[in-house]
Amino acid sequence: MNMNYGRKIRILVGLLTVLILSTAAVAVAQEVQTWELISAYEAGIVEVTVRATPSLHQVSIWVRNDEGTPIEVEILPGTVFSTGDADYQRMGVIHHVVILLDAREEKEVLVPVACLDMDLEQPYDGMIFQGGIVPGISEAVSQLITLPEFQGLTFRIQQFALWTAITQPAAREDYPGLGLGADVIDVLVDYGLPEDIIAAFYYVPDVVYEMPLADLWFLELLFAEAGLPVEGADEFFVLFTTGWPTMQELEQIAHLLDLADIPLVGFVATAVGS
């Protein structure tokens, strides 16, 4: 009886060993492999569809893992999506995005982007980027996007910086106008400036010339805290009537381009009276 008992113990231990080894083998087999989006797409690992959204700074990316094991897909800053239509802007990724996909899983995610061709139309909502995906527009622009200083700025300055690096506008008037951006407005509201007051500046921009100096200084302080530097009534008037970059934003952009070793010949921020 003791011999039978011992034999049963040995059998049980053997079965447990097999089970543990099998589990370990499965764990190794299921180890997540990381793929960069373009490499994964070109290797047939994933299916990808990129669509425009109503937002200037987001695209929707649908990704399906065609593998039988989990994978991690990286979308690197600087990655460029093209519609294939010469009338519409290309969109460039401005933040690092990671998508974890189980075997055969599909996901749709919003990816932060900026427009790259300031003289072209913004892709319309739902437009599919059929023109392909490339690693970047240039090494210099990719270097600009990955700068920690770039990553910490408002979307508005990031967008103007990219247009500046790619197109080199000769004058401030050559830039398309942009709104303040949700990131700036959220901070202004958090600091006690109501949205209806912000909107009122757009309807009656001349009011900045009638504000007491103390109030104007306080408004400058609020906007600086929100990441949008503005100095003086004239700059606020330009901001609210045209959406062009303020001279203070252009100074920040000049610093960014210098860090990225992008030439600044004739840059508008250095031109007196621009």
CATH number at 55 reads 2.60.40
More confident residue, 169 or 226: 226
Residue 103 lies in a domain: yes
Please tell me the chain's helix, strand, coil percentages from 3-state DSSP, rounded to the nearest 5: 45, 20, 35
Confidence of residue 15 (pLDDT cuts 50, 70, 90): very low
Query: In the prediction, which pLDDT does 201 show?
Result: 97
Coil, strand or helix at 20: helix
**Residue 251: CA atoms inside 13 Å, Cβ hemisphere, count?**
8
Stretch 7-18: mean pLDDT, rounded? 51
Residue 16 has pLDDT above 70, yes or no: no
Question: Judging by DSSP bridges, how do beta strands 33-36 and 71-75 pair with one another?
Answer: parallel
Instruction: Give mean pLDDT, residues 98-122.
Output: 96
Tell me the one-letter amino acid at 130: Q
Average pLDDT over residues 157-183: 94
Note whether residue 66 is domain-resident: yes
Instruction: Tell me what pLDDT residue 7 has.
Output: 60
Domain contains 60: yes
Percent of the chain clearing pLDDT 90 (strictly above): 78
The pLDDT tens digits for 24-63 are: 434 444 588 999 999 999 999 999 999 999 998 999 999 9
What are the tens digits of pLDDT across the range 204-222? 999 999 999 999 999 999 9
Radius of gyration of the chain from Cα atoms? 26
| Domain annotation covers residue 155 | no
Beta strands in the chain (DSSP E): 33-36, 46-52, 58-65, 71-75, 80-82, 91-93, 97-101, 106-115, 132-134
Q: Which residues of 252-267 are buried (b: 16+ CB within 10 A; e: fewer)?
A: bbbebbeebebebeeb
Alpha helices in 64-169 (DSSP H): 139-146, 148-151, 155-167
**What is the spatial distance between Cα 80 and Cα 9, in angstroms, rounded to a whole number?**
62
- Which domain range does residue 131 map to? 33-137
Contact 110, 53 (CB under 8 A): yes
- 172 pLDDT more than 60: yes
* Domain count across the chain: 1
Distance CA 198, CA 41 (A): 44
pLDDT at 168 over 60: yes
Helices (H) and strands (E) in the chain, counts: 10, 9
Average pLDDT over residues 97-111: 97
In a domain, 7, yes or no: no
DSSP letter for 244, please. Answer: P
Spatial neighbors of 144 by CB under 8 A, at least 6 apart, are 150, 161, 162, 165, 256, 257, 259, 260, 262
pLDDT at 13 over 70: no
Please check whether residue 52 lies inside any domain of the structure.
Answer: yes
Confirm whether 53 is domain-assigned.
yes
**Model confidence at 270, in pLDDT bands (50, 70, 90)?**
low
What confidence score (pLDDT) does residue 263 get?
84
Does 111 fall in a domain? yes
Length of the chain measured in residues:
274
Question: Is 157 a residue whose pLDDT tops 90?
Answer: yes
User: Which residue type is seen at 271?
Assistant: A
pLDDT level of residue 136 (50, 70, 90 thresholds): confident
